[in-house]
Amino acid sequence: MRVHVVSDVHGNSEALARAGEGAEALVCLGDLILFLDYADHGRGIFPDLFGAENASRLVKLRNQRRFEEARVLSAELWAGIGTDRREAIEGAVRRQYAELFAAFPAPTYATYGNVDLPRLWPEFARAGVTVLDGEVATIGGRRFGFVGGGLPSPMRTPFEISEEEYAAKVAALGRVDVLCTHIPPALPELTYDTVARRFERGSEAVLDAIRTTQPDYALFGHVHQPLRRRMRIGRTECVNVGHFNATGRPWVLDI
């Protein structure tokens, strides 16, 4: 059985519509929404509202780790347009989700990324799209375990949860053949972004589960330009599949 795996779609619905071609199932590890493209500051919800120049200012502040100044800038921009922030963002997110969920082939197995809004997914997850978080699905006779979301970070993205809640979801999976998470295990080689030049949050609970249960694969995204895209932890092959927005190509798993 051939399974295609994607993560960090970030609005690339056109490529997503082709992602299942030649596969019997698609696995998506989240971050469907494009709020702000760090490579192209004219793409995303933020520049649509405030322009590419302000998006560039925000990216610069975040890349310099001046997170409080970035939050002040964002607050000033929102105050200047006189629009309810939550209402404006949710409207834009719904428009993106409508396109992205329509692009999913059947069957698709998906979990949330840290920039996703899980409470909106039931509006768009049609038949053939199975949403899992802290749950297991059997695909091609193998147990796939899914854990969505991210951990608290200075970015304060929409779906960040406590380490305790995240660890409980990992523990609920038990032993699986393929461990599917949005964020990577907490190893420097897998969490360092070479372009942003910073460490992203990885999970100690995921790392412990890999070392303890030794699944065949641990698949994840979140870090767009990792120091290492794959490495082994014991017998487990760890693979970063979070390049989909940039390349439009899924990672291929043959079972």
pLDDT of residue 118: 98
**Where on the phi/psi map is residue 222: left (φ > 0), alpha (ψ -120 to 50), or beta?**
left
- Can you tell me the distance from the alpha carbon of 69 to that of 114, in angstroms, rounded to the nearest whole number? 22
Average pLDDT score, the chain: 96
pLDDT at residue 195 is higher than 90: no
pLDDT of residue 81: 85
In the structure encoding, which two tokens stand for residue 229, read together? 């895209």
Looking at residue 223, the DSSP 8-state letter turns out to be -
In the structure encoding, which two tokens stand for residue 186, read together? 């907490």
* DSSP H/E element including 143: strand 142-147
Q: Are 255 and 1 in contact (CB under 8 A)?
A: yes
Neighbours of 22 (CB within 10 A): 10
pLDDT of residue 234: 97
Angle at the Cα of 41 from the Cα atoms of 35 and 45, rounded to 5 degrees: 25
The pTM is what? 0.94
pLDDT tier at 85, thresholds 50, 70, 90: confident
